């Protein structure tokens, strides 16, 4: 494919609202790449469908190295967006630097909340205790929305094995104004582990302290054996997602 969508009449899609245009493009791509995942899908999105118009959003968490290694092998200049919420573990920051250097990622974009937006809702830095959804909105969703504005598509590391809302995540979908590719959505734990093993990738330092999924320090706990991989995120609350994958927030 040459990057043009197979949707009939898509040449006129520029007249449509951005969200509608993204939905049509995602649906067309999903049909064209049905059954395609992993490196093959990633290659198609980066080099064929959205060259120069796609970014990767990465938390540099416990599984992130697998996806980032595949991205680096395809095109190490692909923009990688990292949300520094101001509440991260210092181990995550150190791991980000180590992994980016190891993989040769040349366009790491560190995005932070706007201090002016933080001032009113979170003057004491404790909004995460009072209203974790509002905290995620100002520290994650808003900064990522701004960072993604120049792009038509972005790559997510979500996987069905995470369960919950991610149990049926599609490899290609529309989220707001963007096409989102989740090339590892259908992958198993063994497939992810194989990427680490075959490439000798380093683990996140906190993985060996029992953290299966790692977000902001105040809202992340070690997982208890036998529970799902994202158990430690917002432990003790009904909240399971920060909101960046929900169309209404884009």
Q: Is 136 a catalytic residue?
A: no
Q: 233: which strand partners?
A: 220
| Active-site residue (options: 135, 216, 219, 242) | 242
Provide the angle, in degrees to the nearest 10, between the axes of the packed helices 90-103 and 64-74. Answer: 30
State the Cα–Cα distance between residues 184 and 169, nearest whole angstrom: 10
Are 112 and 84 in contact by the 8 Å Cβ rule? The answer is yes
Are 57 and 111 in contact by the 8 Å Cβ rule? The answer is no
Parallel/antiparallel/unpaired status of strands 153-155 and 54-57? parallel
State the Cα–Cα distance between residues 204 and 60, nearest whole angstrom: 8
Residues with a catalytic annotation lie at: 242
């Amino acid at each position: 494919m040459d990057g043009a969508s197979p949707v009939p009449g898509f040449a006129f899609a520029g007249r449509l609202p951005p969200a509608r245009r993204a939905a049509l493009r995602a649906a067309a791509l999903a049909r064209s790449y049905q059954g395609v995942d992993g490196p093959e899908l990633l290659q198609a999105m980066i080099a064929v469908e959205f060259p120069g118009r796609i970014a990767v959003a990465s938390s540099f968490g416990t599984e992130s190295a697998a996806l980032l290694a595949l991205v680096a092998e395809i095109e190490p200049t692909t923009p990688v967006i990292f949300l520094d919420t101001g509440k991260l573990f210092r181990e995550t920051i150190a791991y980000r630097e180590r992994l980016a250097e190891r993989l040769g990622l040349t366009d790491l974009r560190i995005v932070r909340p706007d201090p002016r937006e933080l001032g009113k809702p979170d003057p004491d830095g404790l909004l995460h205790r009072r209203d974790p959804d509002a905290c995620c909105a100002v520290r994650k969703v808003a900064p990522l929305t701004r960072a993604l504005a120049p792009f038509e598509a972005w790559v997510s590391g979500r996987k069905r094995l995470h369960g919950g809302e991610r149990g049926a995540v599609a490899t290609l979908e529309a989220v707001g104004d963007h096409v989102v590719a989740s090339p590892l959505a259908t992958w198993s734990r063994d497939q992810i582990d194989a990427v680490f093993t075959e490439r000798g990738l380093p683990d996140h330092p906190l993985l060996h302290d029992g953290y299966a999924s790692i977000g902001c320090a105040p809202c992340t706990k070690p997982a208890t054996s036998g529970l799902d991989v994202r158990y430690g995120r917002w432990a003790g609350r009904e909240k399971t997602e920060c909101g960046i994958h929900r169309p209404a927030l884009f």
